[in-house]
């Protein structure tokens, strides 16, 4: 049974799944579609207008929240700026207090945003990714699958799958703990490490190096192939290890 607590606001037209809980003073606008078992804590605002100066409030755009997702106090999720489109948060995500998801973001499943993590517009975040407290992500960036973003990190470039990133776009290695918790095999992790070294420490354009390794069939593990495929997409440059940045500059 879905529960709407006193002083909560659920606008006419909002769609709530089974067994949702909307706590006191939370706001769910008419533009929202919530899956089953979504919990919205006090003072969260879901489906508010995007913070975009040219936005027409009459635009028919929305927000979709996946099954089992929890939105803590003061979380804000803005609706899309495009008619017929939606800002999307996947299943079983956990958005901690005061985190923000701007218009047209797409979050996968099992994503965690720690307190005050901030996503600008059009950011995509892969499954099983964790963003530390106060981390901020520039618009149009892609954050891959099973990525660990350190607290207070500033992300202005794309971050490949299965990595850890800190400070300003500094890749500091693989998310080894996260990969082991997900049950990745030793063989897959070994191939990922080799692919990581090839891409980042082989001279040449990083996209070209990744494409060449993929075309050559250098790796068998599906995870290593996904890592390489990441470099074929996106419009921004890529976060890199600090040593690779220094070698490239020299």
- The pLDDT tens digits for 16-68 are 999 999 999 999 999 999 999 999 999 999 999 999 999 999 999 999 999 99
In a domain, 163, yes or no: no
For residues 125 and 72, state if they share a domain: yes
Note down the domain range covering 113.
3-140
Catalytic residue, from 104, 127, 158, 169: name it. Answer: 104
What's the pLDDT score for residue 250? 43
What's the pLDDT score for residue 176? 85
DSSP character string of 112-164: EE-TT-EE-TT-EE-TT-EE-TT-EE-TT-EE-TT-EEPTT-EE-SBB-TTEE
In a domain, 207, yes or no: yes
Around Cβ 53, how many Cβ atoms within 10 Å? 5
Q: Is the pLDDT of residue 229 over 50?
A: yes
For residues 122 and 185, state if they share a domain: no
pTM: 0.94
In a domain, 32, yes or no: yes
Catalytic residue, from 100, 103, 128, 161: name it. Answer: 103
Q: Does the active-site annotation cover 104?
A: yes
What three-state secondary structure class fits 13?
coil
In a domain, 72, yes or no: yes
Domain count, the chain: 2
What's the pLDDT score for residue 248? 54
For residues 215 and 130, state if they share a domain: no
Q: 162: buried, middle or exposed (CB in 10 Å: 19+, 13-18, 0-12)?
A: buried
What's the pLDDT score for residue 69? 98
What's the pLDDT score for residue 177? 87
């Amino acid at each position: 049974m879905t529960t709407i607590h006193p002083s909560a606001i659920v606008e006419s037209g909002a769609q709530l799944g089974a067994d949702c809980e909307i706590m006191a003073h939370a706001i769910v606008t008419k533009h929202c579609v919530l899956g089953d078992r979504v919990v919205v804590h006090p003072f969260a605002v879901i489906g508010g207008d995007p913070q975009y100066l040219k936005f027409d409030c009459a635009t028919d755009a929305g927000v979709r929240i996946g099954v089992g997702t929890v939105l803590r106090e003061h979380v804000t999720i803005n609706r899309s700026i495009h008619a017929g489109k939606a800002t999307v948060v996947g299943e079983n995500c956990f958005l901690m207090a005061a985190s923000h998801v701007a218009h047209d973001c797409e979050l996968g499943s099992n994503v965690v945003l720690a307190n005050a993590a901030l996503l600008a517009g059009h950011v995509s975040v892969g499954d099983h990714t964790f963003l530390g407290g106060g981390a901020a992500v520039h618009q149009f960036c892609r954050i891959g699958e099973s990525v660990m973003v350190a607290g207070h990190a500033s992300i202005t470039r794309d971050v490949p799958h299965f990595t850890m990133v800190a400070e300003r776009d500094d890749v500091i290695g693989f998310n080894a703990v996260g990969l082991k918790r997900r049950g990745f095999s030793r063989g897959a992790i070994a191939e990922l490490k080799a692919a990581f070294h090839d891409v980042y420490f082989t001279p040449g354009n990083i996209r070209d190096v990744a494409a060449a390794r993929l075309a050559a069939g250098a790796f068998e593990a599906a995870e290593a192939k996904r890592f390489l495929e990441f470099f074929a997409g996106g419009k921004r440059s890529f976060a890199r290890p600090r040593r690779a940045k220094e070698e490239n500059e020299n």
